Amino acid sequence: MTLGSCAMPALLQYLDWARQHGVDPAPLLDQAGIDPALLAQPEARLGGEQFQQFLLALARVSQEDTFGLQSAQHVQPGSYSVLGYIAMNSDNLGQALERAMPYEKLVGDMGRSDWRFGPKEAVLRWHCQYSHPQVVPQMVDNVLASWTGFARALLGQPGASPSWVSLRRAVPADGGRAHQQWFGAPVQFGAEQDAIGIPASLLSQPVVRPDPQLLPVLEQHAKRRLQALEQQDDLPMRVRVQIEAALQRGPVRRDQIADALGLSEKTLQRRLAQCQTQYQTELDRVRLSLAQRALEETEQPVAELALRLGFSDVRSFQRRFKQWTGQGPGAYRQARRVQA
């Protein structure tokens, strides 16, 4: 599975947190291959692998195991452009959540929200798509904390709180005090799901200063942006399909993939750049996906796997795999066996 893309505001909140805590983000952006010029382009998008690599670098440098939670406190409804504005112009909190949810992809492909509305409360479950064990807890913390802050801002009620919070992550170093303080509700760590419960009484509360007449305009704009994003995303997906097929036959070349798609190499490069990606990034995504699948599901020797994925030698593969996941291939395979 590849990690898709994300909107620039998803990154900016972490940059704000890093600067406030004395961490220079420039080297972290460089490690993740993120061009600093993109920070001034609110409509730009990052590759999901780049975003995960940045968060991993931030986790290692900061040595802070609640930075995801803390970064969420920089988020406001307007931070996420049209999705936020749709929520801000809904009648009440419940409607805001229902109307905003279909456009979650505009913020990014970090994961998927799943709402269940009952008579006494709504339950929001979030399923993280990212893979690195140091990144996932921070991402989950950030998303659930962001939704909580988002709801408070919409209602104009800083003290509004969920009825409960459950997190799969381990108890943080502070014993959970920061989580308890932010959510203002019981927090269970080591739970079976990442979720929050929102009382029905809050769902019926009116949003501060809505303008319902704007909603149709905003939703049409969001639909157009979502459609354009899905069309843009289609080319990287087709590139990955061709790369995976080519790897079954032997070494893969960029000109070979361009020919298979009916494009020149130059056109392929240009159109991938318009999608905020490049050929090498898509090749690495396919290699990572195939490597993870082989390590989890087969006993194929690592040396054979490296050759199959087009690496010149096993050491090159081992180094690259560790960059992708934070673990060498052998350690990754062993960890998945233990989990199983």
Instruction: Render pLDDT for 88-107 as a digit per residue (tens, 0 to 9).
Output: 888 899 988 888 888 888 88
The residue among 144, 178, 210 that closes a domain is: 210
Are 34 and 176 found together in one domain?
yes
User: Among 201, 219, 221, which Cα is nearest to 92's?
Assistant: 201
User: Among 339, 330, 321, which Cα is nearest to 300's?
Assistant: 330
Are 156 and 71 found together in one domain?
yes
Are 127 and 192 found together in one domain?
yes
What is the domain extent for residue 200?
5-210
Are 203 and 222 found together in one domain?
no
Half-sphere exposure (CA, 13 Å, Cβ side) for 193?
12
- What pLDDT score was predicted for residue 340? 54
Alpha helices (H) along 63-120: 67-71, 81-88, 93-100, 104-107
Contact 46, 34 (CB under 8 A): yes
pLDDT of 39 higher than 50: yes
pLDDT of 176 higher than 50: yes
The residue among 176, 210, 244 that closes a domain is: 210
Token pair 């307007």 is found at 78
Bigger pLDDT: 22 vs 116: 22
pLDDT of 19 higher than 50: yes
- pLDDT, the chain, mean: 88
CA angle 331–335–340, rounded 5-degree value: 150
- Give the span between the Cα atoms of 196 and 114, in whole angstroms: 11
pLDDT of 4 higher than 80: no
Percent of the chain with pLDDT over 90: 50
Are 78 and 39 found together in one domain?
yes
pLDDT of 215 higher than 80: no
Are 133 and 247 found together in one domain?
no
Confidence of residue 1 (pLDDT cuts 50, 70, 90): very low
Contact 73, 152 (CB under 8 A): no
The residue among 186, 210, 234 that closes a domain is: 210
Are 21 and 159 found together in one domain?
yes
Most confident of 2-6, 68-72, 95-99: 68-72
pLDDT of 43 higher than 80: no
What's the structural domain count of the chain? 2
User: Among 239, 247, 241, which Cα is nearest to 274's?
Assistant: 239
Q: Using one digit for the tens of pLDDT, what is the confidence trace for 122-144?
A: 999 999 988 899 999 999 999 99
- Give the span between the Cα atoms of 308 and 72, in whole angstroms: 41
Give pTM, 2 decimals. 0.68
- Give the span between the Cα atoms of 12 and 6, in whole angstroms: 11
Candidate from 49-53, 115-119, 165-169 with smallest mean pLDDT: 115-119
Q: What is the CATH number of the domain that holds 321?
A: 1.10.10.60
Q: Are strands 195-199 and 121-128 parallel, antiparallel or unpaired?
A: antiparallel
Are 96 and 240 found together in one domain?
no
Q: What is the CATH number of the domain that holds 170?
A: 3.90.1520
Contact 273, 295 (CB under 8 A): no
Q: Using one digit for the tens of pLDDT, what is the confidence trace for 270-303?
A: 988 888 789 999 999 899 988 988 898 889 999 9
Are 48 and 154 found together in one domain?
yes
- What pLDDT score was predicted for residue 2? 61
